[in-house]
Amino acid sequence: MNIAYSTELICFLILSAVIVSGSLAVVLLENIVYSAFLLGGVFMAVAGLYLLLNASFVAAAQILVYVGAVNVLILFAIMLVNNREKLKPIEGLKTRKLISGGVCTGLLILLLRVSIITKWNIPGPTSIGEEATERIGEHLFTDYLLPFEVASILLLMAMIGAIVLARREVSIPTDYINDLKTKKSLDDKKIPLLSGNSLK
Amino acid sequence: MLENPIGPVPLQAYLIVSAFLFCTGVWGLINSRNAVRVLMSIELMLNAVNINLMSFSSYIDGSIIRGQVFSIFVITVAAAEAAVGLAILLSLYRNRVTIDMESFNLLKW
Ranges of each domain in chain A = 3-83+95-182
Alpha-carbon distance of A133 to A142, in angstroms, equals 14
How many domains does chain B contain in total?
1
Q: Answer yes or no: is pLDDT of B1 > 80.
A: no
Q: Determine the pLDDT at residue A200.
A: 38
* Confidence class for position B103, pLDDT limits 50, 70, 90: confident
Residues of chain A where predicted confidence (pLDDT) is lower than 50: 195-200
Q: Determine the pLDDT at residue A83.
A: 66
Whether residue B106 lies inside any domain: the answer is no
Q: Determine the pLDDT at residue A177.
A: 74
Whether residue B2 lies inside any domain: the answer is no
Alpha-carbon distance of A33 to B34, in angstroms, equals 12
A3-83+95-182 — its CATH code? 1.20.120.1200
Alpha-carbon distance of A55 to A128, in angstroms, equals 10
Whether residue B79 lies inside any domain: the answer is yes
Q: Answer yes or no: is pLDDT of B5 > 60.
A: no
**CATH number of the domain where residue B20 is located:** 1.10.287.3510
ipTM of the complex, rounded to two decimals: 0.91
What is the SS3 assignment for A87-123? CCCCCCHHHHHHHHHHHHHHHHHHHHHHHHHCCCCCC
Whether residue B94 lies inside any domain: the answer is yes
Q: Determine the pLDDT at residue B108.
A: 78
Whether residue B81 lies inside any domain: the answer is yes
Q: Determine the pLDDT at residue B12.
A: 92
Could you say which of A54, A123, A158 has the minimum Cβ distance to residue B84? Answer: A158
Q: Determine the pLDDT at residue B98.
A: 83
Cβ contact (<8 Å) for B76 and A73? no
A65 against B98, higher pLDDT: A65
Cβ contact (<8 Å) for A90 and B36? no
Distance from CA of B108 to the nearest CA of A (A): 17
Q: Answer yes or no: is pLDDT of B11 > 50.
A: yes
Domain that holds residue B49: 11-98
Question: What average pLDDT does this structure show over B7-22?
Answer: 91
* Confidence class for position B3, pLDDT limits 50, 70, 90: very low
Alpha-carbon distance of A70 to A63, in angstroms, equals 10
Question: What average pLDDT does this structure show over B10-18?
Answer: 93
Q: Determine the pLDDT at residue A183.
A: 65
Q: Determine the pLDDT at residue A154.
A: 96
Q: Which residues of A touch B12 (CB under 8 A)?
A: 115-116, 120
Considering the entire predicted model, what is its pTM? 0.85
Whether residue B58 lies inside any domain: the answer is yes
